[in-house]
Amino acid sequence: MLLSPRFPAPPSPAPRPLAPRSLAPRSPAPRLYALRRCLRVPGRSLLTLILTSLAITALPASAPAASAAFAETSIGTAHIYKQIGDRALKLFVVSPPAAKPTDRRPALVLFHGGGWTGGTPTQFNTQSAYLASRGLVCVQVEYRLLDKKDHAPPLVCVQDAKSAIRWVRTHAAELGIDPARIGAGGGSAGGHLAAFVGLVEGQDDPADDFKVSARVAALVLFNPVFDNGPTGGWGQARVGDRVAAFSPAHNITADDPPTIIFLGREDKLIPVATVERFQATMKAAGVRCDTLLFDGQPHGFFNQEPFKSRTLIESDKFLTSLGWLLGPPTLTEPTAATASGAPSTAAPIRKKAPGNQRGTSVTRPPQ
């Protein structure tokens, strides 16, 4: 089972290491209580998170996201990061067990999927809880959605994504975050937003404080629709002739952040060739880009087991390689018998080129 009180509290990878704290009480009830207190998650939210991790099913390949990917309740501490008229946009911060404001921990800001028209900031509840147990501050972002009936470009979405990064960086001291180690992650359309803040200049909210950078230092992308061009891209109907303004794949430069990408080989929205082209362009620019491909898996595969755990373990290894986490992953990949009926398929492994500059993916048969 993915959510388990076995997540230990790690020492901080920040310059000021913290004393580890155990999350292994003697009985199940104290364990849940301890996990809830350590991760600062309300009891009701913790129950929702556990049930969601057990019940999630595969997303259909015909849509960028589906309701099965989203829990009903957000976890973490809510903060208003932006006011648009009468609407207050929130983000939800999940802090590590022993976190305190004087820390300088890395952070990962996560954006949900949904084709820019749906979804909620609950898709990465499980990932946030686990990575917080490993020492990372995780933030899930609510952003404005587009009307399904029109074809407007995702301008308000990318504006909100940049505003959220700026809010986190501005409040880094009180959140115990290192402002130089803020990364972004997301799935599908949320992967586009994460890649956008990592690679694309412009399209900022005019009300933002431009003295605060909206760039990020790492990207963790789950089947991202980061190519909006006419060749193998997604979202062309909305972007139109403004590909250069909205498509991260068309804005790759040498100063882009190290990136890891997860994709199912049977994804009907994002061809494997599109991701391989993105990786090759990153490589040509001298930027690290690890790509892991999963045989037989459709769009949204990472929302179900065993792929939720597999992609989370690989994300952990990637962040550890950057020095953002310490030690090996504490999450155990579920066996075929405990993977909620998910098929047992080839597991991806990463081959990195020397110099930590780039990565490719291959597969191995099931062990």
Locate the domains of the chain by residue range.
Answer: 28-364
- pLDDT of 174 above 70: yes
Could you read off the pLDDT of 106-147 as tens digits, one per residue?
Answer: 999 999 999 999 999 999 999 999 999 999 999 999 999 999
pLDDT given for residue 349 in this prediction: 42
pLDDT given for residue 329 in this prediction: 97
Nearest to 312 by CA among 70, 107, 58, 124: 124
Phi-psi region of 70 (alpha: psi -120 to 50; beta: other; left: phi over 0): beta
Could you read off the pLDDT of 59-88 as tens digits, one per residue?
Answer: 333 345 444 567 679 999 999 999 999 999
pLDDT given for residue 359 in this prediction: 38
- pLDDT of 341 above 90: no
What are the strands, taking DSSP E only, across 97-154?
105-111, 137-141
pLDDT given for residue 82 in this prediction: 97
How far is residue 268's CA from residue 363's CA, in Å, rounded to a whole number? 20
pLDDT given for residue 334 in this prediction: 81
Query: Looking at residues 311-335, what average pLDDT do you find?
Result: 95
How far is residue 47's CA from residue 333's CA, in Å, rounded to a whole number? 21
pLDDT given for residue 68 in this prediction: 54
SS3 349: strand
pLDDT given for residue 333 in this prediction: 83
Total length of the chain: 367
The residue type of 148 is K
Phi, psi for residue 230 in degrees, rounded to 5: -75, -15
Nearest to 248 by CA among 185, 196, 290, 197: 196
How far is residue 294's CA from residue 298's CA, in Å, rounded to a whole number? 9
- Angle at the Cα of 303 (from 302 to 307), degrees rounded to 5? 40
pLDDT given for residue 50 in this prediction: 39
Strands of 259-264's sheet in order across: 77-84, 87-94, 137-141, 105-111, 177-187, 219-222, 259-264, 289-294
Mean pLDDT score of the chain = 81
Q: DSSP assignment of 203-240, as one string?
A: ---TTS-TTS----S-EEEES-----STTT-S-HHHHT
Query: Looking at residues 315-323, what average pLDDT do you find?
Result: 98
Rounded to the nearest 5 percent, the helix, strand and coil shares of the chain are 30, 20, 50
How far is residue 327's CA from residue 231's CA, in Å, rounded to a whole number? 41
Residues 6+ apart with CB under 8 A from 350: 290, 292, 314, 317, 359, 360, 361
* Higher per-residue confidence, 294 vs 358: 294
CB-CB neighbours of 198 under 10 Å: 26
The residue type of 16 is R
Residue listed under structure tokens 């992967």: 191
Q: Is 57 exposed, middle or buried (0-12, 13-18, 19+ CB in 10 A)?
A: middle
pLDDT given for residue 284 in this prediction: 98
Nearest to 98 by CA among 2, 182, 7, 27: 7
CA distances for 296 relative to 150, 267, 307, 340, angstroms: 33, 9, 12, 17
How many Å is the Cα radius of gyration of the chain? 19
Q: State the fold for domain 28-364.
A: Rossmann fold (3.40.50)
61 with 298: CB under 8 angstroms? yes
pLDDT given for residue 299 in this prediction: 97
How far is residue 293's CA from residue 301's CA, in Å, rounded to a whole number? 11
SS3 108: strand
How far is residue 321's CA from residue 343's CA, in Å, rounded to a whole number? 29
How far is residue 365's CA from residue 346's CA, in Å, rounded to a whole number? 5
Residues 6+ apart with CB under 8 A from 87: 144
- pLDDT of 19 above 50: no
CB-CB neighbours of 362 under 10 Å: 11
Could you read off the pLDDT of 42-54 as tens digits, one per residue?
Answer: 444 444 443 344 3
